[in-house]
Amino acid sequence: MAIKFQYNKTSLQELNKQLKVRVRALPTIKNKESALRMEVKRAKDKAQALSQKLDEAVESYRSMVRLWGEFDVNLVKVDDVELSIRKIAGVRIPVLDEVKFSLGEYSMFNSPLWTADGIAIVKQLASIGIESEFFNRKMALLDHARRKTTQKVNLYEKVQIPGYEDAILKIKRFMEDEENLSKSAQKIVKDRQQKMEEAV
């Protein structure tokens, strides 16, 4: 990124100001990036743990597969998934508060004895599945924010800060050269005036 500037004191002051802003902001952005990186890892680990827990739970009920044929799939429905918002390193992230279910009507006398247990099992499996999917999405959101933050760190560290430092150095050199030329010109004029006075 080419930084636009002019060879004067105003431009030098503006570039110094911009450089200070970026140098001060860089540690904060790096901290944000590392915090987001940790949160991504936590969300990923939690999603994997929940996925494994779901697989184990499904496997443990596989022996009851014949009984599930008798189970009325309309008995349990997910009504709502309640979320709240929490900020992690300045990024708004959803938090899973509660999964709400509604139960269909069934006769305790005409339904199989294990129907109540079946409802509890379905609720448990659905809750684990929803939570697992939630953490996968949370991980994706956090990872997106982390990538954006990493881009900003790289932009500051590798492009803007060196660019501003280089521009400031160029302006300072130019102003020094201009000052040296001015002093040299004044010396030449002074020497000529002395020679002319001596000749008179």
Q: What is the per-residue pLDDT across 63-88, written as a single tens digit (0 to 9) for each?
A: 776 666 677 777 888 888 898 998 88
What is the reported pLDDT for 121?
A: 85
CA dihedral 138, 144, 147, 148 (to 10 degrees): -130
Distance from first CA to last CA of the chain, Å, rounded?
60
Tens digit of each residue's pLDDT (9 = 90 or more) over 37-50: 999 999 999 999 99
Mean pLDDT over 29-44 rounds to 93
Mean pLDDT over 2-29 rounds to 90
What is the reported pLDDT for 32?
A: 92
Q: Which residues contact 88 (CB under 8 A, 6 or more apart)?
A: 35, 36, 39, 142
What is the reported pLDDT for 21?
A: 94
* Residue 159 DSSP code: I
Mean pLDDT over 167-194 rounds to 88
Mean pLDDT over 156-184 rounds to 90
What is the reported pLDDT for 196?
A: 83
The pTM assigned to this predicted structure is: 0.73
- Which helix (H) or strand (E) segment is 99 a member of? strand 91-103
Q: Could you tell me which of 174, 161, 171 has the C-alpha nearest to residue 1? A: 161
Integer Cα distance of 29 and 11 in angstroms = 26
